[in-house]
Amino acid sequence: MTLSASLDKDLLLEMQRRMLRIRLFDERASKMVKRGFIPGTVHTSIGQEAQVVGACMALAKGDHMTGNHRSHGHPIGMGSPLGPLMAELVGKATGVCKGKGGSLHLADYAVGSLGESGITGSSIPIAVGAGLSAQVMDEKRVALTFFGDGAANQGVLYESMNMASAWKLPVIFLCENNHYALSTPAHTVTGGRIVDRAFGFGMPGIRVENGQDVLEVYDAVAEAVARARRGEGPSLVEVMTYRFREHSEGLRINTDYRDANEREFWLSRDPVALFRTMLIERGIASAAEMDAVEAEIAQEVEDCVAFATESPDPDRSVAFADLYSDAYLLEDVL
């Protein structure tokens, strides 16, 4: 029996809630950046919600997670409330990083989210550090790090996998293979399967072919988490998924690099719609219950936008706070 088979109705509905939060939050963020309410650009996880939520919900309270450049969804998958996340995107003082991180540098320690970065692969060794900390302190925590197929060819990944394997650290390396690094097809720059690289480091490699199924992802990651928690070391999980939108929102980039038939195929495998249908067909929830859940999350997103809009801007006096120490001010280095 798979681990997901033992999940009760409340947990299954929570999976759908978190996927909907990611979907509707990112859809709203996409509109806001195009209208100038969010500075810069945003990278959405629309289409990839199942692999985010399935992986994050396989973790336990006290575990750690690091993200990548496409990381609004990761803290949401860990259970972060939406208001402070949206406030961070618009640069408000009530944001999870006090408005100083923005879209590309979210962190929410309250749910174990240690942060993300726009530098490809740079969050991976942070998760290894969290795993080392857990081992040294003899705690049963594990750390999960998300990276894309583009980062799968970064040397820092292999340095991290080697260290985690040599020291049997409780780390799960999760590759979100959405088939494209920006506009570069993965198969044109990556030799072989990413998952097979696990064996060179003496760790299990698990490939989830249907990364649009939140339960399949949950089962794969839960197995790796259990192994890590037993002290048996790291695992590599490759999840095959697809981003429905462009690499980033708010930038003018080439959009004709994807085959129309390929995109249509993946759009028909919408993880949010598929899980809703499954819950109804299996008699776990009624259509009316699912409609109520969708209305609930839609209101959460409206409330988070209102919270962000009404929140104050950061005060100039704290611009250099949190840099090494609160006493680190500009005049100290002039």
Q: Kindly write down the DSSP assignment for every residue of 20-57, as one continuous string.
A: HHHHHHHHHHHHHHHTTSSSS-B---TT-HHHHHHHHT
Tokens of 89: 């995107």
What does the pLDDT average to over 121-131?
A: 97
**Could you tell me if 103 and 89 are in contact, meaning their C-beta atoms sit under 8 angstroms apart?**
yes
Of 267, 263, 207, nearest in space to 47 by CA: 267
**Could you tell me if 23 and 48 are in contact, meaning their C-beta atoms sit under 8 angstroms apart?**
no
What does the pLDDT average to over 2-21?
A: 92
What is the residue type of 89?
L
Q: State the average pLDDT for the chain.
A: 93
> Alpha-carbon torsion 263, 267, 270, 274, what sign?
negative
- For the stretch 196-230, pLDDT in tens is 999 999 999 999 999 999 999 999 999 999 999 99
Q: What is the DSSP letter of 233?
A: -
Q: Of 317 and 129, which is predicted with more confidence?
A: 129
CA distance 235 to 319: 40
- For the stretch 78-112, pLDDT in tens is 999 999 999 999 999 999 999 998 898 999 999 99
What b/e sequence results for 60-87 when a residue is b if at least 16 CB atoms lie within 10 Å of its CB, and e otherwise?
eeebbbbbbbbbbbbbbbbbbbbbbbbb
What does the pLDDT average to over 183-197?
A: 93
